[in-house]
Structure formats: structure tokens, C-alpha cells
Structure 1
């Protein structure tokens, strides 16, 4: 992977032949102590809808969040394509996709994780279908214990793997990631035949960067991580929103 020091300061301005894929937390939105506390700037939803129209619909949010969570964040964007849980589910006028049902062992683990998190005020557990997310951004003292919990959980979840980030762990079915999610979208209208562009901040976004790079597209890291496959960089979500044409928000 390339060092962030070799990346250009910013990607080119959006072009009408793009297929634009955007991560949400840490990319469009600033990270919050817990996912349900994320704040959507007032101008952002309408700008996303206008940009989608300018791209003939070729704009999708590609997130680790569930569709339910994305829809709650962006209730005024009913026509926007959404790829949730790293592509395990999708809202699309052309090819909707329902997430697979969770195994019984996942249901049990979700309950155990919720009880376990009570010992660490500020820690947050999200259980959506076949995925379990452990967050400790607001409870850094929980990091080691949650890592041990995730390691033990995998012994009860054949066909699953964990994806570790700076402030959390995602446990999800193996074989699905944002690279595959983007590849599937590129095979569908209205994304087919366009220049793929993906912006994200987390190590879980690296498969997406690799995918768009392989298709001659534009990959954009948001933030200051040292190692990435992305070829462009923006410093923070505020710069992402400015890149997309959202005016600076007060407060």
C-alpha cells in the first residue's frame, strides 16, 4: 500500500460520467461516540439528491450500517441507492437485495455482547441481521476486552470473520466487503459503464479502493491513516462535503 504522504491533496471535481460511491461514518459524517448519535448536516441530503440526479442516478451510499440505520439517517433520500452491511443488503430500484438471516448462534451472541457491554459505560453494540458490531469510541477502556470477546465469538460462527478498526470490531459473514459491493453495483444500471469513484476512511474501505483502482477509477481516503491503497486524500468529512458542493455549515 502507498504511504499517505504520496497522495494528492484532493481528488478532481465530480464529473458527469462518474459512478459515485460514498461511505457514511467518517466520510460524509463526522464520527460520533455511538452510531445513533451521528449528525447529518442540514444541506447534505438535498445535495446528495441533486448530485444523484446530475449523475443520472449513479450515486450510492456504501456503508457498514444496516439499511434501516441508513434510512433513519437520510429519511428524505428515499430514491437514493443504499448498500448496507458492506453489501449484504441493498436498496435499489434495479436490483434490491435482502440480507441473509442470522444463524441462531449470532442471536445468542448479540445478547451476550449487549450484557457484556454494560460493564463499559459508553461502549455500544449493534446487531443487524447477520452482523455484529462492537464499538468502543466512547469507552476506550473496553478495547482489549471486546477484542477477546470477538475472538471467542468467531469460534461459534463458522463462515464468519472479524474486521478490526481503530474504535471497533465488525463480525460479519466472510466473502463480502465493500469491494464486492461496489463491483456488484458496477454491473447494474445506472452505474454500469461509468468511472467508479469511492471515498471512505476506514480499513474496511480498502477493498473498495482496490476495486475502483482496478477499474481505472478514483479512490479517496478521508483522514490521516498511514497506509492505504487510495490515490487521493481529503482531510475530514467537512472537506468531503465541500468537494461534493455542500457549503460550510454553521456550528
Structure 2
């Protein structure tokens, strides 16, 4: 699919009952925060997710860079189908497939990263087990945190065979290769209740483009959240509030059907 440069993109159509819905979390369902642990789940979102999940016969999955355990905590009591760590963890309706254990070299890389981040107030090293995320959103522009953290991540990459650098919004991540959000979509689309449905992927970041491309390959479409361009998405929503309103309309439709 050709990347889209023009602004704006049209809003997505109403959510049909034959869809398999894949939702990014940070920046899509939730407003971004300076630290991953400071995000807030808005009132009504969990109820909307539950209603849409039921309307789609269970074919709604969260596809996130967060570990599965964090997703379950954020959206409790829901325990939705989900992919964590950008596809390294995938859980269908019944079971989870977890990433391999972290290589021993990662502990020393983590210690060095934390020591470096301590020199830049507001920067953060997020330990995801098998992956490390280097955040500088709260450090402020011009503080030097972005350059320092990027350079450190690039310098240690040769010590971690099989790893690569995954850029994102004010973050770069050291993570194992072999999986991404697109492979998570492929895996879930091959299994019930997603199988045979038309996929729709909603996301805001560069990491979501893999999911956008996979959705299109399965005959579906994608919705980009925010103004990031270019993108392969066909539709656009301006932010998490518009995503929630779109989901809320689908949840309302489910409630009408139930009457």
C-alpha cells in the first residue's frame, strides 16, 4: 500500500459486526504520559471495550509495546486477546505465547543505561524483561537526552545478537527481532474468533505501520491516530478522544441490538 502524505485523512466508517479489531494502546486508546506508569484509563473506556468485544464475538485484541501483564492491569477486569512487546508476546482467547528469556548481557546494558539516564532528569529506562525502552519525552527538548540515549543504544547493539533498534515517539527500544505488530495480526487472524473476519488496525506510532500493512494484506484497513505522516492507513482520527467516541458509537449499537 502506498504511504499517504496528505492531510487530513477521512474518518473511518462505523464499526461493522464482521470486523476483527486490533487496537494499539498508548497514544491510541490512552493519552501519552511522560512515563508509561502515569497513563490514565478514561472513564467509560473499559465498558466500551467490553461491549465492542462482545459485539465482535471476541475478535478484539490489544496490540501494544507493553508487556501483557501491564495490559491486564490497565484494563482490569478485562483480559482481552492481546499482543505485548510489539508482537513478542501473543495471547489468543485461551493461552499466551511468551517471549524467550532475556540474554545475560542485557543486565549490564540495563545498568549502563540507567546510569546514563540519571544524568538527564526526566529521562527513563523502561525494563520490559526481554526489551529495554529509552524514553526522553519528559527530559525536555535541548537537554541532550535524546542524542545520548540513542547513541548508547546504538553502541551496545553489537553486544545483543538478534536485537535491533525500534524507534517510536520520544523513545527508542532495544528488542529482539523475529516479531512485530504485523506478525501478531497474522497469527491472530489465523485463529478463531478472528479468522474469516475483516481486520481493522488502529494505531498512532511508527511501530503500528507493520500492523497497518498486515491488516491490508488480509483485505482490511487501518486508522492512524494523530498527524503522523506518511502512513499506509486509509483513515484517520485526531486523538484518543476520537477513538473512544468511535468505539462508544459501536458500543451503543451493541446496546441497541441487545434491547
Q: How far apart are 1:246 and its partner, in Å?
A: 6.6
Deviates more, 1:87-96 or 1:210-219: 87-96
Distance 2:136 2:105 in 1: 23
Residues 7 and 231, structure 1, Cα contact 8 Å, conserved in 2 = no
- After TM superposition, the structure 1 = structure 2 runs for residues 164-179 of structure 1, keeping only pairs within 5 Å, are 164-179=167-182
Aligned twin of 2:241: 238
Aligned twin of 1:8: 9
RMSD: 1.5
The answer to whether structure 1 residue 213 and structure 2 residue 216 are counterparts is yes
Q: TM-score, normalised by structure 1?
A: 0.94
Structure 1 residues 89-110: Cα deviation after superposition (integer angstroms, max 9, x where no partner): 1333334211210000112212
- After TM superposition, the structure 1 = structure 2 runs for residues 116-195 of structure 1, keeping only pairs within 5 Å, are 116-140=116-140, 141=143, 142-195=145-198
Report the count of equivalent residues.
246
Structure 2 gaps of 5+ residues are 251-259
Structure 1 gaps of 5+ residues are none
**Which of structure 1's runs of 4+ aligned residues deviate more than 4 A?**
none
The answer to whether structure 1 residue 56 and structure 2 residue 53 are counterparts is no
Distance 2:107 2:163 in 1: 14
Q: How far apart are 1:48 and its partner, in Å?
A: 0.4
Q: TM-score, normalised by structure 2?
A: 0.91
Aligned twin of 1:32: 33
Aligned twin of 1:94: 94
Residues 109 and 156, structure 2, Cα contact 8 Å, conserved in 1 = yes
